[in-house]
Structure 1
Amino acid sequence: MRILDNIISDRGSKYAVSGGPCASEQEAKAFIKELCRKKKFAKATHNSWALLSADAPLKNDDGEAGAGMVILRMLEREGLHDHIIVVTRWFGGTHLGGDRFRHVQDAVRIYLDALRGN
């Protein structure tokens, strides 16, 4: 499990991104459970995630409507299969509107760059 913490901050909201090898919905649920063993992530407002598995594309917005689809589309463009990416948000009290999607995209880009070693 790779975690990149405090990567984006906007109007009080803070973001982290994490990910790792994952091949099924069961493994995805186990990954989220393991991530949430860290108290900080358990207290997060949203842990949105997506995964391209052999069975089907999987996603979960965790209350951040549309975030899972943003992550999934980026995984599809990248051609990254059997690897979960989770974007975590701690809500800072101010609604971000459409900027929240840009932050999800930026978080996934940061993760993919780190995965490639850039």
Structure 2
Amino acid sequence: MLVLPNVLSDRGSRYAVSGGPARSEAEAAALLKELKRNKKFSNATHNTWGLLLADGTQIKADDGEAGAGMVILRMLERERLTDTVVVVTRWYGGKHLGGDRFRHVQTCVAAFFEEWRA
């Protein structure tokens, strides 16, 4: 599993991105469970994720951050990256970010892609 713990901060909210191989929703859930063994991630406000399987099946979870899972899926599609789950974690800082939160999800996923393909 690749974990980038401090990708960005904005108005008190902090973001991280993680991910790794997954060929099913169960494998994605296992990776998320492993990630949450770290108290820092288990205490996060949101752990949103997306997984694009090789057969085209799309699986996502917003974890209260409406629309974030779809942003991750669209980026996985554009990269043609299958069987890899990407988790964007947010610790809410007390101020609403509006549409900026989607740009931050994109920034995190792009950082993951850069490290994952390196």
Question: Does the TM-score normalized on the shorter chain lie above 0.5?
Answer: yes
Q: What TM-score, normalized to structure 2?
A: 0.97
Give the corresponding residue for 1:36. Answer: 36
> 5+ unaligned residues in a row in structure 2: which ranges?
none
Give the corresponding residue for 1:3. Answer: 3
Give the corresponding residue for 2:115. Answer: 114
Rounded to whole Å, the distance in 2 between the matches of 1:70 and 1:60 is: 11
Rounded to whole Å, the distance in 1 between the matches of 2:96 and 2:73 is: 23
Paired letter, 1:45 = T
Q: What TM-score, normalized to structure 1?
A: 0.97
Paired letter, 1:11 = R
Paired letter, 1:5 = P
Cα offset for 1:116?
Answer: 2.0
Cα deviation digits, residues 7-59 of structure 1 (max 9, x gap): 11000000000000001011111111110000000000000000011451100
- 1:27-66 equivalent positions in 2, closer than 5 A: 27-55=27-55, 56-66=57-67
The 4+ residue runs of structure 1 with deviation greater than 4 A are: none
Give the corresponding residue for 2:80. Answer: 79
Give the corresponding residue for 1:13. Answer: 13
Paired letter, 2:74 = R
> 5+ unaligned residues in a row in structure 1: which ranges?
none
